Amino acid sequence: MTKLITPPAVLRDPHVDKPETRETGDPIFNITLEFASEEDVKPLADEISRLMPKNGSTPLRKIQTPAGHVWRIKLRRTDQPRVLGPDLKSSHDDPLRDGDLVRAQMGLMTYTNLGSGGVGYLGDIQFLMHSDFEPTDQVSSAVPGDDQTRPN
């Protein structure tokens, strides 16, 4: 597994304090990171494309919004992640909210059974600041053939 630190990103739909329940009934902690500019996401996108199997499904999605394109990646894990403060030393005890600015430690693992692609795993989260970013509504795929019905 390749380990990376993401650039600062807007947090979307966090399940950090209480896990989300999968279709199988198993609990999973997860976050979605949203990047507003191609410049912000380029180092992460380059690393993902370097590791991806040929014709593999990438965990990084380019989404069309009314305000333009954003890039999203969903990171998950089975146990509760640590949330650190901006100084990386103290714990951040306030609940994370949709729209907060964060950085995350992540792992990327590729697979070739049952298709091929990559999966993002969540490590520690670094809280940077609360923000007033609004959730992005009315998203649609910016890439022809990108299946938006598939869970991220």
- Global pTM value: 0.80
The pLDDT tens digits for 14-59 are 999 999 998 888 999 999 999 998 898 998 888 888 888 778 888 9
Which residues are registered as beta bridge partners of 34? Answer: 10, 72
Q: Judge whether 26 lies within some domain.
A: yes
Neighbour count for residue 21 (Cβ, 10 Å): 11
Q: Judge whether 130 lies within some domain.
A: yes
Q: Judge whether 150 lies within some domain.
A: no
Q: Judge whether 151 lies within some domain.
A: no
Which residues are registered as beta bridge partners of 5? Answer: 105
Whether residue 148 has pLDDT greater than 60: no
Whether residue 84 has pLDDT greater than 60: yes
Whether residue 146 has pLDDT greater than 60: no
End-to-end CA distance of the chain, in Å? 19
Give residue 57's pLDDT.
86
Give residue 144's pLDDT.
34
Q: Judge whether 149 lies within some domain.
A: no
Whether residue 75 has pLDDT greater than 90: yes
| 123 vs 3, residue with greater confidence | 123
* Domain membership of residue 65 as a residue range: 2-134
Residue 130: which CATH number? 2.40.50.140
Q: Judge whether 142 lies within some domain.
A: no
The pLDDT tens digits for 85-144 are 999 989 998 889 999 999 999 998 888 877 788 889 999 999 999 876 554 444 333 333
User: Alpha-carbon torsion 9, 6, 119, 68, what sign?
Assistant: positive
Q: How many domains does the chain have?
A: 1
Give residue 132's pLDDT.
65
Q: Judge whether 70 lies within some domain.
A: yes
